[in-house]
């Protein structure tokens, strides 16, 4: 059993998510349909807390993509659960737990753009900017973090620790 140290406390996460929801409401106030997509499984806790705080109407959907085995990226993504709604001419907001190399979100954004949406933006809980290999940045981010393998608040290590109420590191 790994020893987990607290990295970002729950209160700090709640505060940042509230700020982010206000910003999203403001940025999309004159937009039409907004489809907010949760990327399973890691983004679930962030997504639920964020969408409950967004006041405008949204359409919700879930996708599952995979690129990691243990702590290592495999360098490509598989779409395990695909979109269930039509995003053509709609604004799309991808909600993801963490951006690391940027490979997952680059591939996913390309895929979603091929469906002719009006726009595709990205919201992440965490950004490991120092690890980026792709030319991509999130439009919304709660915390920029250093190069640590983090768990909790949805993030896992081999499917464990997702239910920690804070973000920790091993």
Return the active site residues: 100
Count of other CB atoms within 10 angstroms of residue 108: 21
> How many chain residues bind ligand IMP (CB under 6 A)?
17
Q: What is the CA radius of gyration of the chain?
A: 15
Q: Which stretch binds ligand IMP (CB under 6 A): 10-18, 51-59, 82-90, 144-152?
A: 144-152
Pinpoint the alpha helices (H) of the chain.
10-27, 44-53, 103-113
Of the ranges 1-9, 52-60, 110-118, 143-151, which one interacts with ligand IMP (CB under 6 A)?
Answer: 143-151
Instruction: Identify the residue among 51, 59, 101, 119 touching ligand IMP (CB under 6 A).
Output: 101
Q: Interface mask (CB under 6 A) for ligand IMP, residues 18-57, using x and -?
A: ------------------------x---------------
**102 lies in the site for ligand IMP, by CB under 6 A:** yes
Q: Helix (H, G, I), strand (E, B), or coil: what is residue 52? A: helix
Tokens of 36: 């907010």
H or E stretch including 63? Answer: strand 59-69
Under DSSP, is residue 96 helix (H, G, I), strand (E, B) or coil? strand
Round to whole Å and give the CA distance between 137 and 121.
10
104 in contact with ligand IMP (CB under 6 A):
yes
Residue 150 in contact with ligand IMP, rule: CB under 6 A? yes
Q: Which residues bind ligand IMP (CB under 6 A)?
A: 42, 67-68, 73, 96-104, 149-151, 155
């Amino acid at each position: 059993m790994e020893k987990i140290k607290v990295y970002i406390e729950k209160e700090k996460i709640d505060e940042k998510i509230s700020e982010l929801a206000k910003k999203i409401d403001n940025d999309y106030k004159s937009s039409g349909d907004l489809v907010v997509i949760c990327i399973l499984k890691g983004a679930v806790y962030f997504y639920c807390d964020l969408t409950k705080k967004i006041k405008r109407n949204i359409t919700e959907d879930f996708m599952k993509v995979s690129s990691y085995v243990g702590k290592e990226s495999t360098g490509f993504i598989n779409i395990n659960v695909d979109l269930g709604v039509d995003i053509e001419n709609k604004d799309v907001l991808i909600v993801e737990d963490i951006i690391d190399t940027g490979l997952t979100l680059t591939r996913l954004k390309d895929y979603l753009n091929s469906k002719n949406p009006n726009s595709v933006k990205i919201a992440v809980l965490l950004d490991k900017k120092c690890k980026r290999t792709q030319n991509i940045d999130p439009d919304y981010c709660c915390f920029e973090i250093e190069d640590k393998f983090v768990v909790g608040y949805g993030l896992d290590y081999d499917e464990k620790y997702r239910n920690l109420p804070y973000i920790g590191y091993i």
